[in-house]
Each structure stands twice: as C-alpha cells, then as structure tokens.
Amino acid sequence: MAQWNPFQEMEVLRREIDRIFDSFGLRTGPVFRTAFLPGRAAREYPLCNLYEDKEAVYVEALAPGVDPASLNLTTTRNTLTLSGEKHGLPGEVKSEMLHRNERAAGKFVRSIELPVEVDENKVKADYKNGLLVVTLPKAEKAKAKQISVQVA
C-alpha cells in the first residue's frame, strides 16, 4: 500500500513548476539549448561540470558529436582551455532536404578557471558517449595535508 507522503508531493509540484518555466524559455536550468544558435549564442559552449576529490579535479564537458581528433586541450597552472569543432549535418545535405534542424554546430573555444593549481604534465582526457572528462591531478602543494595532533 502506498503511503501518502506530503514531502514527495511537494517535490513533484516543484518539478512541475520547473517544467512550466522551462517551457517559457526562461532557461536557467540544465542542458545545451541556445549555444551556437545565431543571434542567441550568448551561452558558453561546451557546458562544463566540475568535480573534485582529494587527488584531482575533473572537468566534465557536454559535447556530443564532437570529433575527438579536433579536440585540443591546453592547461596552465589553474586554467584549462578547450577547443574543438562540433559537426552538424554532413556536407551534402542541402537546406531543401531538411525537415528539422535543431542541432547546432561550429567551432568552439572555452577557458575554465580551476579552483586549484594542477600538475600540467599529468592531465588526462577521455571522450566517451559525447561527454569529455578531463582529469587534472592537483599540484603537490595544492593537496590537502593531513596534520596529526600530538598529545602532550
């Protein structure tokens, strides 16, 4: 038997309201919309999430359809620069053959400031299922140090 849970109901309501606002174009929330669209391309591309653990910071970029060969990453002490090209339709597709064209394409470059200094020599990048994950190990001096407490 399902219990009536008011908190769950509130959560459902909150999502419904979010969805209504989403459909008005007040897109504050998630996911790739206007990036690349002419005139409205005020958004940065690709959108990035930043993760952190003790050893490293991770940048996850939302970049479906990007040719991995075109990706170019550079790092300095605390900046990561991503550039590359997202391919749209194959070249032979003419506009009169199109039914819908919602995916945008083009070249991009983006710099991200990282919260810590990283070790430039150990940066790794991995592109899978349209997500780019860059692993940036922290520089030795940026790592948290464990300090043991001495009991006198």
Partner 1 sequence: MAERTIPAPSGQQVATGREITRAQERYVLPVVDIYETPDSLVLMADLPGVSKEDLDVRVDNNVLTIQGKSSHAAPGEAVYREYELVNFFRQFELSERVDQGKIAADLKHGVLTLHLPKTERARPRQIEVRVS
- Residues 105-140, buried b or exposed e (16+ Cβ, 10 A)? eeebeeebebebbbeeeebebebeeeebebbbbbee
Closest separation in Å from C-beta 112 to partner 1 = 9
Paired strand residues for 59: 50, 134
For partner 1, the closer CB: 99 or 150: 99
Closest separation in Å from C-beta 139 to partner 1 = 17
For partner 1, the closer CB: 10 or 89: 89
Burial of 57 (0-12, 13-18, 19+ CB in 10 A): buried
For partner 1, the closer CB: 52 or 151: 52
- Residue ranges binding partner 1 (CB under 8 A): 1-2, 4, 12, 15, 19, 29-32, 47-53, 56-60, 62-68, 88-89, 93, 97-103, 115, 126-131, 133
